Structure 1
Amino acid sequence: MQRKIIETGDGSKTLFIPEMDEQYHSVNGAITESEYVYLDKGYRHNQSLEPVVLEIGFGTGLNALLTALEAEKSQRKTTYISLEKYPLKAEEVKQLNYGSLISEEAAQLFEQLHTRLWNSKTTVTPFLDLLKIEADLKTFSFDNLPLVDIIYYDAFGPDKQPEMWEEQIFKSIFGISNQSATLVTYSAKGEIRRRMERSGFTSERLPGPPGKRQMLRVSKL
């Protein structure tokens, strides 16, 4: 899969896939989007004291970085589990500038997140345990995962990869979600919302990040 580095509206970089005409983050701002959708509306919103986060799509590692920084800031012990079928190459990671835009600590942490082994749980900071799983979501068995509290659904868009947004996937996630679990995603498509609701979640549309009118947050009540 060919990927190109592009700069987004807030100065942070992301990856663009020409054959899919799709980028990993919003062109209006990669850090801005992740901070708003996943941290503010997901991680900070959920009240679990020691949350288990499940991320669909490790991608650039930006969501993991922001979560690790927030976990340390709030001293909230967090387990971070992320699924990714196509891990980035080392040379691609080096071209991403999230750490340098945030802090020296963030730059070091970003490198650690990417250099830790796949498919092996590891402690990255006193407040973040990381498990990156190299797997195909379509064939992955969620039965092997612990119960989760927060889900970052950050797969490529449903118009680009519809198989990543099938109802059965949401049913599987619902099955491993703790009571009061929270799922957030940038997509607010009506059919996606209905599939999540049929899977057992209660949904709400929220104002979206810059460049997007709405996003979706669903809960297990």
Structure 2
Amino acid sequence: MQIEQTADGSQTLFVPELNEHYHSVKGALTESEHIFIQMGLKHSSVEAPHVLEIGFGTGLNAFLTLLTADTDQRNIHYTTLERYPVTPALIEQLTYPELICPERKDDFQALHQAAWNTDVQLTPYFTLHKVETDFTSYTFPATYDVIYFDAFAPEKQPEMWTQSLFDTLCQQLNPQGILTTYCAKGAVRRMLQAAGFTVERLPGPPGGKREILRATKHL
């Protein structure tokens, strides 16, 4: 796995075996902030949302959510699923805190050092629950208000983008719950609709993908 710079100055990881990046090369930070925070978390009106992330990866989405929770003084319980945790050596080389909020570098490290499979309260407003698991076979113990669907692209990991899995995610969402993803492919949109979501195609992040998807459960 290799660290690469993206167009907005933030880093991503490149996986040669998959020929795939963890984030957009057009701007990792810009992508995460737009898709998951602005179009996802901030679109939810739930006072104390339970957030589910599919793909912990570099911890960028979690770090941005932690900072947002503290800034907005909004209690967030954050569950994140990851089958292949990034090594501590690579984490040490990531410069997200220096770019985003240097005084919170310890919180970024704490995200990665937190114990797995248990609730860990990292700030007065942010509780983390990391699960080292395969999303495709995971039995969800709770329901959620916001889902960040940040798996590798469908052509790289087709087993992560199936009708049955989107059906399950819809069932795990509370009424008015939302799911956001960077992937706006027609096949993905149709699967989300078949699962019971109302799906919107929204403008993508500045300088990045043209469109993203936001799916809302109205039942």
Compute the TM-score of the two structures, normalised by the length of structure 1: 0.96
8 Å Cα contact 1:50/1:77 also seen in 2: yes
How many residues are aligned here?
Answer: 217
Partner residue of 2:119 out of 121, 128, 143: 121
Give the unaligned 5+ runs of structure 1.
Answer: none
Q: How does 1:141-180 map to 2 (within 5 A)?
A: 141-142=139-140, 144=141, 146-180=142-176
SS across alignment from 2:199:
strand
What is the aligned partner in structure 2 of residue 75 from structure 1?
Answer: 73
SS at match of 2:43: coil
Following TM superposition, by how much is the alpha carbon of 1:211 offset from its aligned partner in structure 2, in angstroms?
2.3
**Distance in 2 (alpha carbons) for counterparts of 1:54 and 1:211:** 24
Q: 1:220 — aligned with what?
A: 217
- Structure 1 residue aligned with 2:103, among 97, 105, 125? 105
Q: C-alpha separation between the residues in 2 aligned to 1:32 and 1:78?
A: 22
**Contact between 1:52 and 1:79, CA under 8 Å: does it hold in 2?**
yes
Partners in 2 of 1:202 and 1:175 — Cα distance?
14
- Structure 2 equivalent of residue 205 of structure 1: 201
CA distance in 2, matches of 1:52, 1:4: 32
User: CA offsets, 1:129-153, max 9 Å, x none?
Assistant: 10000001111112x2x21000000
Q: Do the aligned residues in 2 keep the contact of 1:81 with 1:133 (CA within 8 Å)? A: yes
Q: Distance in 2 between matches of 1:188 and 1:114?
A: 30
The answer on whether the counterparts of 1:65 and 1:106 sit within 8 Å (CA) in structure 2 is no
Q: Normalising by the residue count of structure 2, what TM-score does the alignment of the two structures yield?
A: 0.97
2 CA distance for matches of 1:115 and 1:33?
25
In structure 2, give the amino acid aligned to 1:108. Answer: D
Q: 1:137 is matched with which residue: 130, 135, 138?
A: 135
Q: 2:191 is matched by which residue type in structure 1?
A: R
Q: For the residues of structure 2 that align with 1:205 and 1:62, how far apart are their CA atoms?
A: 24
SS at match of 1:114: helix
Q: Distance in 1 between matches of 2:178 and 2:138?
A: 21
Deviations 1:13-41 (A, max 9, x none): 11001121100000011111000000000
For residues 122 and 82 of structure 1, what CA distance do their matches in structure 2 show? 12
Task: Confirm or deny: 8 A CA contact 2:31 2:208 kept in the other structure.
Answer: no
Is contact 1:10-1:31 (8 Å) kept? yes
**Tell me, which stretches of 5 or more residues in structure 2 are unaligned?**
none
Mapped contact 1:55–1:151 kept (Cα < 8 A): yes
SS in 1 for 2:40: helix
The answer to whether the 8 A contact 2:79-2:128 is kept is: yes
Q: Please tell me the root mean square deviation across aligned C-alpha atoms, in Å.
A: 0.8
**Identical-residue share of aligned pairs (%):** 47
